[in-house]
């Protein structure tokens, strides 16, 4: 945490300023000074956390009536600096900022959480054992019953679905809407999608009544550094997927110990042995449609009159970002149009358990 005698740059606002005015100021300025009116006033902490959660990358400076005991919490909520009162000794601030080396709750910073350190190995073992038990009990079950089992509150899991809103996404999302329409659904808005995909995402969410679809975008600073011209896919497609998909998703699902996907065995040879339940690093991955065939998918779409992605009719049975997706020939597998001509077959989000680096 930087300690300032006097903040020179930035718009100065009281923490009692309405949130909408704070957001407007953040949109127009790359530096904000939030003035605390009392050390017990938590609004400044909340405002910083909200701004960081909404993607604000600018500089946040705490000023006014704040105490050295609060410095670490200020930093963890997203503040970059503190403006000290005239004549204040900076030593207590530095000491309190360093007094703890670990954290119990997630925040905007990069602290490694105590519970994750303590329970990483047991959590992993528990998830592996749970996956084995669920495969024994539910591997041959109807996909909707399988979903109900894993989303049963008695199981004690915190779940989210990951959806591309692609060619076959409507089937899994329809099942989710029948079981738990408020389930968080994570959509990676990579900035490289077909416009048709973005339109389909809106149509399908509205049609199915999904109430918690989360559009996750790449970190602007990471994009500016790694892919400033937006053409990294030409020279390094793995790196492009990493900055536009893997890293953002890791942050988005960090709080979930169960992740539901629409992967299926028939899609390509790399998924041929896909199990309904998988586990690694304490995370349970659920593939309710693993055993479904292309015919079953098509029958479900037709029988339930679900809207189709408009590119399917143009020969796209699997749809990702536009630079790395083409239509397929009649003799090709569904995913042969992804990264065509390259050894790459997956974007990486399913290749390993997604967890932010500690």
Complete DSSP assignment for 292-344: --HHHHHHHHHHTT----TTGGGT-SS--BGGGB----TTS-TTTTBSTTSS-
How far apart, in whole angstroms, are the C-alpha atoms of residue 258 and residue 66? 39
- Tell me phi and psi for residue 283, to 5 degrees: -110, 130
Residue 347 appears among annotated catalytic residues: yes
Of 284, 293, 294, 296, nearest in space to 260 by CA: 284
Of 350, 320, 322, 349, nearest in space to 335 by CA: 320
How far apart, in whole angstroms, are the C-alpha atoms of residue 273 and residue 93? 55
Q: Where are the alpha helices (DSSP H) in 227-282?
A: 232-235, 237-241, 247-252
How far apart, in whole angstroms, are the C-alpha atoms of residue 156 and residue 121? 19
Q: Is the dihedral of CA 1, 36, 4, 58 positive or negative?
A: positive
For residue 94, with 0-12 CB atoms within 10 Å meaning exposed, 13-18 middle and 19 or more buried, which class applies? middle
Q: Report strand pairing: 2-4 vs 11-14.
A: unpaired
The one catalytic residue among 240, 241, 321, 347:
347
Q: Which residues are catalytic?
A: 347
């Amino acid at each position: 945490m930087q300690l300032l005698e006097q903040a020179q740059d930035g718009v100065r606002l009281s923490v009692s300023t309405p949130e909408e005015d704070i957001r407007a100021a953040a949109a127009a300025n790359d530096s904000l000074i939030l003035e605390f009116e009392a050390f017990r006033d938590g609004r400044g902490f909340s405002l910083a956390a909200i701004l960081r959660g909404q993607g604000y990358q600018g500089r946040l400076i705490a000023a006014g009536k704040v105490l050295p005991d609060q410095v670490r919490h200020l930093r963890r909520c997203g503040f970059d600096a503190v403006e000290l009162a005239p004549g204040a000794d900076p030593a207590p601030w530095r000491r309190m900022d360093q007094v703890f080396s670990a954290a119990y709750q997630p925040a905007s910073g990069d602290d490694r959480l105590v519970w994750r350190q303590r329970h990483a190995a047991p959590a992993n073992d528990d998830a592996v054992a749970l996956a084995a038990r669920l495969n024994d009990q539910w591997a041959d079950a109807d996909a909707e019953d399988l979903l109900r089992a894993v989303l049963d509150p008695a199981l004690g899991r915190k779940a989210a679905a990951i959806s591309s809103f692609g060619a076959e996404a409507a089937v899994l999302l329809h099942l989710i809407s029948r079981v738990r329409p408020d389930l968080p659904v994570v959509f990676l808005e990579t900035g490289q999608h077909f416009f048709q995909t973005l339109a389909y995402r809106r149509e399908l969410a509205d049609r199915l009544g999904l109430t918690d679809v989360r559009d996750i975008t790449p970190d602007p600073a990471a994009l500016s550094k790694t892919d400033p011209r937006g053409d990294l896919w030409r020279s390094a497609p793995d790196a492009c997927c990493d900055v536009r998909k893997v890293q953002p998703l890791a942050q988005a699902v960090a709080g979930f110990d169960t992740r539901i996907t629409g992967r299926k065995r028939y899609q390509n040879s790399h998924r041929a042995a896909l199990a309904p339940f998988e586990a690694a690093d304490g995370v349970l991955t659920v593939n309710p449609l693993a055993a479904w065939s292309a015919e079953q998918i098509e029958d479900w779409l037709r029988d339930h009159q679900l809207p189709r992605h408009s590119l399917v009719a143009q020969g796209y049975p699997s749809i990702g970002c536009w630079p790395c997706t083409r239509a397929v020939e009649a003799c090709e597998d569904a995913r042969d149009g992804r990264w065509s001509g390259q050894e790459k077959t997956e974007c990486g989000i399913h290749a390993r358990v997604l967890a932010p680096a500690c």
